[in-house]
Amino acid sequence: MTSYQPDALIRADVAAYLARHEEKSLLRFLTCGSVDDGKSTLIGRLLYDSKHVFEDQLAALEDDSRRVGTQGGNIDFALLVDGLAAEREQGITIDVAYRFFATETRKFIVADTPGHEQYTRNMVTGASTADLAVILVDARKGVLTQTRRHSYLAQLLGIRHVVLAINKMDLVNYDQAAFDRIRLAYRAFASEIGVTDFRAIPVSGLGGDNIATRSPHMDWYDGPTLIEHLEQVPVDADRAARAPFRLPVQWVNRPDLDFRGFAGTVAGGAVHPGDAVRIVPSGRTTTVKRIVALGGDRARAEAGEAVTLTLADEVDCSRGDVIAAADDPPEVADQFEATLVWMAEEEMLPGRSYAFQLATQTASAVLRQPKYQVNVNTLEHTAARTLELNAIGVATLSLDRPIVFQPYEQSRELGGFILIDKATNATVAAGMIRFALRRASNVHRQPTDVTREKRAALKNQRPAVLWFTGLSGAGKSTIANLVEKKLARMNRHTFLLDGDNVRHGLNRDLGFTDADRVENVRRIGEVARLMTDAGLIVLTAFISPFRAERDMVRAMLPEGEFVEVHVDTSLASAEARDVKGLYAKARAGQLANFTGIDSPYEPPETPELRVDTAAESAEAAAERIVAWLLEREEG
Amino acid sequence: MTLTHLDRLEAESIHILREVVAVAERPVMLYSIGKDSAVMLHLARKAFYPAPPPFPLLHVDTTWKFQAMYALRDRAAREAGMELIVHRNPEALARGINPFDHGALHTELWKTEGLKQALDLHRFDAAFGGARRDEEKSRAKERIFSFRSATHRWDPKAQRPELWQLYNARHAKGESMRVFPISNWTELDVWQYIAREKIEIVPLYFAAPRPTVERDGLLLMVDDERFPLAPGEVPVERSIRFRTLGCYPLSGAVESEAASLHDVIREMLLTTTSERQGRAIDQDAGASMEQKKQQGYF
C-alpha cells in the first residue's frame, strides 16, 4: 500500500523528508472518458486520497455536494474538478484542465480532458505532453466506440503507455469474469492499433478500490493499484535523453560583444563541452565550448533541460536553427506528408497560406486537399475535400522555406507543429510529420534562354497584374474593360481574365464554397503569373473576397508586379444596381455563399489603387489607372 | 541520470520565459513581491544569465503592502539588474481608496484598474504573472499564454489550444497576453524550490512576534499607524506568519512558531487548509475569481 505523505517523518525530520522529495520524478498523464464513466470522480478521488484537498476546500465541496451534487448526501468528488462556472451549471467538463498531486516517489501532472465526441481537440491537446493515458471504461458497458477513439488518439499522439481503468466494479459485484471479458476484448483492439504497453486495473472511483489502496472486495486481482502502476511506469523524457543531440535555438543571448550564447531547451540527447556539433540547416560544424549557467558552468545537460551553450567558433546561428550532433544531424525539407487534427470552427482551406510553427521555427504553409480522413470511431479511411472541426486526416503541405525536422514518431519536439490562421491568429490545427516528400527537390525548373525580361522588352512594356477586387456588381469588369481598351490604343499587349469567363472553362469544376473560392483564385494567380512571364499586362476581374488569397497571388509575383485595385462600393449601392439580378436571388435564398450576403468580403488594407464608385465614374477611374501605369513604366 | 520534478518544472518555466522574450515586442514581469514572484524572478535570472532579464519589473502598488515587502522589492530589482516600474492608480490615490472604507472597490481600482493603466501606459504586449493552476478552480483551465482583448477582457471559451511546447503568441495590435511561467507548480514545489535554490523571500513568511488584531475571523497585522483601531483597542502581540502576502489589511495571518524555512515547509505539509483561505478576495462564494479575471484582474 502506498501512503502519500508520511506525517511521522515530516514531524521528525523535515530536512530528511525534503532531501528525499527532491529526488522525485515527474510523470504527465491524461485521463480520458466521459462524465458517465466516472472520470471526474476518479480524479477527485486521486486528489482526495493524496491529501491534496484541504479542509476549507472540503467544506466548500460538502456544501456544493448538497446543493448540486449527484451522489445524494454523499461527497461528490466530481465537483472538485469541474472548474468553470458555466460547466458547473451544465454539469459537464468542456476544456482541458490540469491537476497536480504527488506521492512519495513522483509528482504527477494530470491533463483532464473530456470524452465527448466533439472535443477531440481537447484530448489531443492534453495528450501532446502526456507520457501515459488512463482510459476509463464503465465495467457494465465494456469497450465502447469512445474507448477505441481515445486509444487511437493516444496512440496517434505518441503515448506509449495505456492504463485501462475498468471502473464502477462495485456495480458489477466486483466480478472477475466481467473484468476479464473487457480486458481481453481491449487487448485484441490494442494490438490492432499498435498499443503495446497496456495494463487493465479493476477500480471503483466512488469507493476508492484499487486506486490508492488495495480493494478488500477483489482478492482475485493481484496486480498493482492505479497509483502503484503510475509510480513505476518509465518516464518518456528519459528515453529522449538517449537519442542524438538536438537543441532548437530559441534565443541568442548577447549581453555584450564578448559573449554570444545560444539558449534553448534540449529536444534530444545530451551535450558536453567539447562535443562536435553541426548547425542545421547551414551545415557548419564547430564544437561546444561551455554550458553556461547561473552559479557555474555545467559539465553535461540532457533532453528536457533549458540550457545556454557557447560555441568554439564564430558561426552564424540564430533562432530557428538547430544545434545537433555533428555525425547525426536531423533532415531538412520543405514538403511533408503529415497527420492533421483540425481544431477550428472554420474548415481547412486547401491552397490557403497558414502560419506554421515547429519547435522554434516559423514558416508559411499551404495545404493540399487531404489524401483521406480517418473516421476516429471505425478507424476507416474516407475521402475528404477538406477537414472540419475535430476531423483527423492526412495531407501534404508545402512550406515557403526549408525547415529542420524529424518524423513525429522519432521526436515530438521536431515532428509536432501547429498551423495558425494569419487573419484571426487562432491556432487552427495540430500536425504530426510522417515523412518528407522528395518531390520538391527532384522537380527542377527548366531554365529557358529567352527570359521574361527579354519577352517584356520585345513588347516594350513592363508586365503587371492589375487585380480588380470588390463586391459583385461594383463595376470591376466594366472598369477593367475600359482600361484594356485604352492600353490597346497605346499598343500595349494585354489580357483580361474575367471571373465569369474563367468559370466557364479552366475553373468549371469549382463551386462557391470557401475552399473552392481559394482554389479559384490560386489557379487564376498561376495563369496570371505565366502571362506576366510572357510579358503581358494582365487584368483580372474577380470578387476574390479573401485577403489571404490576394496576398498569396502577390507573393507569387516579382516585387511590384501585383497591382491591387479595390473597386470600393457599398453593399447597399451594389445591391440597388444588381445588374445580374444575383443579389435578389441571394436574398431569396436561391444562391448560397454569396459575397456580402452570407459570405464575407475582406477589403484590402493597403491597395495600390482604390476606386470609390460613389465619387468617380468608370471612365474617370480607368483614365486614372492608365495614368498610374504609365508613370510606373517610366519610374 | 533522471531529472527530478523540480528540474523539469524549472526547465519548462525557463522555456516559456525565453519564448516570450523571443517573440513579444514589449514584455514585462508583474512582480508582487510574494514567494511566487520571487521564484519567477529567480527563474528569469537563470533563463537569461549572464545577461540580466531583458524586461522591466512592474509592481502595481496599492500603497497598502507590508513595509517589509517594499524593502525587499527595491533590493530584489537592484540585485537582478532590472528596471523597476511602480504604478499607483492616480484616481485611487486622489480618492484615498483604502481597504477599510471601500471594500471591493479597493481591489478593483488599485489592482484591476491600476494594472490595466500600467499596461496601456507602457504599451506592454506581454506580461508575466506568477499565478499557479493549483491555486484556484478557474486557474486550472487557463492557458499558459492567456490572451486579453484590447480592453483587457479574458474569454475562457475562446482560449487557444496549447500543444507540446508550442505557444502561438501572435496577436493583433492592442491585444496583449498574460503569460504564466509557473502554471504547473504547486505550493509545495514553490517551497521546495525556494529551499533548494536559497531564494530570498519576505521575512513575513516566517513566524515572529507581531502586533495583531482580529477582524471578521481573520488575524490581521497592524503594520502601520493607518490601521483603524476601535477606541481603547490595543493590538495583541502574537507569533504569526503569512502563507500569502497582499495588502496588509486584507492578508490573514496564521498563528505559528515556524521561524525557519524547514519549519514553514513542515507546517505547510501538515496543514489542513489551503493557502488562499487567508485571502479576503476569494471568500465570496463560487465563481468570483473567474468574474474578476474576465474583467481584467490578473
Enclosing H/E stretch for B33: none
- pLDDT at position A51, please? 62
How far, in Å, CA of A519 to CA of A521, rounded? 5
* Whole-angstrom distance, CA of residue A305 vs CA of residue B208: 39
Q: Please name the amino acid found at residue B200.
A: E
When scoring B17, B136, B139, B163 by the number of chain A Cβ atoms within 10 A, the one with the most, hence best to mutate, is B163
Q: What pLDDT score was predicted for residue B271?
A: 67
Residues in chain A with pLDDT < 70? 1-12, 34-36, 51-95, 114-118, 236-238, 438-447, 635
* pLDDT for position A469: 94
CB contact under 8 A, A265 and B6: no
* B10 chain-A contacts, CB cut-off 8 A: 306
Evaluate whether B160 touches A420 at the Cβ level (below 8 Å). Answer: no
CB contact under 8 A, A250 and B18: yes
Query: How far, in Å, CA of A14 to CA of A41, rounded?
Result: 32
B284 interaction partners in chain A (CB closer than 8 Å):
none
Chain A residue closest to B49 (CA)?
A: A294
The ipTM value here is: 0.87
Task: Find, among B48, B21, B197, B12, the residue nearest to A304 by Cα.
Answer: B12
Which domains occur in chain A, in start order?
7-236 (3.40.50.300), 244-325 (2.40.30.10), 331-438 (2.40.30.10), 452-634 (3.40.50.300)
The CATH fold assigned to B5-190+287-295 is Rossmann fold (3.40.50)
CA separation for the pair B150, A15 (Å, rounded): 48
* The pLDDT of residue A175: 93
Please indicate whether, in this complex, the C-beta atoms of A98 and B272 are within 8 angstroms of each other. Answer: no
Residue type present at position A391: A
Contact call for A420 and B170, based on CB within 8 A: yes
pLDDT of residue A242: 82
Q: Report the relative pairing of strands B208-215 and B236-241 from DSSP bridges.
A: antiparallel
* Confidence at residue A237, expressed as pLDDT on a 0 to 100 scale: 65
Residue A110: phi and psi, rounded to 5, are -105, 125
CA nearest neighbour of A304 among A328, A332, A271: A271
Cα dihedral across residues A590, A591, A595, A600: positive or negative? positive
Kindly list the residues from chain A whose CB atom is less than 8 angstroms away from the CB atom of residue B196.
22
CA–CA min distance B12, chain A (Å): 8
Question: Is the predicted pLDDT of residue B286 greater than 50, yes or no?
Answer: no
Query: Which of A294, A298, A392 has the most B C-beta neighbours within 10 Å, making it the best mutation to test the interface with B?
Result: A294
CB contact under 8 A, B3 and A25: yes
Q: Cell numbers 503569512 label which residue?
A: B242
Give the Cβ contact number of residue A627 at 10 Å.
11
Phi, psi of A218, deg, nearest 5: -130, 70
Residue A245 CA to residue A237 CA, distance in Å, equals 13
What pLDDT does residue B16 have?
A: 97
Q: Among partner residues B5, B166, B272, which is closest to A24 by beta-carbon distance?
A: B5
Measured between CA atoms, the residue of chain B closest to residue A411 is: B164
Residue of B nearest to A430 (CA): B163
A353 is catalytic: no
Closest CA to A200 of A239, A169, A159, A243: A169
SS3 B258: coil
The DSSP string of B183-197 is TT--HHHHHHHHHHH
Helix axis angle, A476-489 to A618-634, nearest 10°: 50
Is B3's CB within 8 Å of A427's CB? no
Position B41 confidence tier, pLDDT thresholds 50, 70, 90:
very high
Residue B51 with chain A: CB contacts under 8 Å: 253-255
Give the pLDDT confidence of A400-430 residue by residue, as tens digits: 889 999 999 999 999 999 999 998 899 999 9
Are residues B22 and A250, on separate chains, in Cβ contact within 8 Å? yes
Torsion of CA B286, B288, B293, B294, to 10 degrees: 90
- Report residue A634 as a C-alpha cell: 517610366
Which chain B positions have a beta carbon within 8 Å of A17's beta carbon? 269
CB A513 within 8 A of CB A593: yes
Per the CB < 8 A criterion, the answer to whether A129 and A159 are in contact is no
pLDDT value at residue B275: 55
**Cis peptide bond prior to B161, omega within 30° of 0:** no
Q: Which residue has the cell 525556494?
A: B194
- Best of A95, A238, A271, A414 to mutate (most B CBs within 10 Å, chain B): A95
DSSP per position, B199-254: ----GGGS-EEEEEEEETTEEEE--STTS-PPTT--PEEEEEE-SS-SBGGGB--E
Please answer yes or no on whether B2 and A412 come within 8 Å at the CB atom: no
The cell for A356 is: 506554421
CA distance B79 to chain A (A): 14
How much is the pLDDT for A72?
56
**B35-48 vs B187-197: helix axis angle to the nearest 10?**
60
CB contact under 8 A, A83 and B141: yes
pLDDT tens figures, B105-134: 888 888 888 898 998 899 999 999 999 988
**Are the Cβ atoms of A292 and B262 closer than 8 angstroms?**
no
- For A186-330, list the strands marked E by DSSP: 197-202, 246-248, 251-253, 261-265, 270-271, 276-280, 285-292, 301-302, 306-311, 322-325
Task: Write down the residue that cell numbers 504547486 correspond to.
Answer: B186
Q: How far is B235 from chain A (nearest CA, A)?
A: 27
Query: Who's near A182: CB < 8 A, 6+ residues apart?
Result: A137, A139, A142, A143, A164, A166, A200
Q: How far is B140 from chain A (nearest CA, A)?
A: 5
Q: What is the dihedral of CA A490, A492, A495, A496, to 10 degrees?
A: -30
pLDDT at B141 over 90: no
Band of residue B236 on the pLDDT scale cut at 50, 70, 90 = very high
What is the least distance, in Å, from the CA of A564 to any CA of chain B?
23
For residue B138, the model assigns a pLDDT of: 66
State the pLDDT at residue A63.
Answer: 66
Q: Which residues of B touch A306 (CB under 8 A)?
A: 10-11, 14-15, 18, 47
Residues of A whose CB is below 8 A from B140? 81, 83, 97-99
Task: List chain A residues with CB under 8 Å of B166.
Answer: 357-359, 416-418
**Measured between alpha carbons, how far is A148 from A182 in angstroms, rounded to an integer?**
13
pLDDT higher than 70, residue B43? yes
Which residues fall within 8 angstroms of residue A234, CB to CB, at 6 or more apart? none
pLDDT at A444: 45
DSSP symbol at A602: -
Contact A54 B277 (CB under 8 A): yes
Provide the residue ranges of all domains of chain B, joining segments of one domain with +. 5-190+287-295, 204-282
pTM of the entire predicted model:
0.78
Q: Concatenated DSSP letters for A288-340?
A: EEEEE-TTS-BS-EETT-EEEEEESS-----TT-EEEETTSPPEEEEEEEEEE
Report DSSP state, residue B44: H
Chain B residues inside the 8 Å CB shell of A308? 49
Separation in Å, CA of B25 to nearest CA in chain A: 14
- Inter-chain contact B14–A306, Cβ cutoff 8 Å? yes
Q: Given A40, A472, A544, A617, which residue is catalytic?
A: A544
What pLDDT is attached to residue A378? 81
Q: How far is B212 from chain A (nearest CA, A)?
A: 23
Interface contact A7-B140, CB threshold 8 A: no
